[in-house]
Amino acid sequence: MARIVTIISPDVSGAHTRLAAEALKAMAQRGGHQLALETHCPSLPWTEISAEDIASADLVILAGECSQAAERFKNKKVVRSPASTLILDT
């Protein structure tokens, strides 16, 4: 089981943010992983990852336009992806 933290920000539209969040939740559940999700989208409720989630994370996924978020994840394995790719690949 991995602990995954994800920030999703729209790269195309708010709909992609919602779909990517749903796809990642399903992927984590299928794999038995823990997922902490932060969304940056005006059309979704704003959520934020806790400092505890970041400290215990095995993997960080930055999806969409969230380049400023990278500084929060020093010394963590970070994967960047367009939100639309997550929808298709999960």
Q: Taking the CB of residue 48, how many other CB atoms lie within 10 A of it?
A: 12
pLDDT tens by residue, 53-65? 999 999 999 887 7
| Residue 74 or 10, more confident | 74
- Rounded alpha-carbon distances, angstroms, from residue 69 to 12, 63, 65, 89: 18, 10, 9, 23
What is the model's pLDDT at position 67?
A: 66
pLDDT tens for 1-55 read: 999 998 888 766 667 778 888 888 999 999 999 999 998 877 667 788 999 999 9
Q: What is the model's pLDDT at position 82?
A: 80
Please state the pTM of the whole predicted model.
Answer: 0.83
For residue 77, pLDDT over 70 is answered with: yes
Q: Which residue has the tokens 């970070």?
A: 78
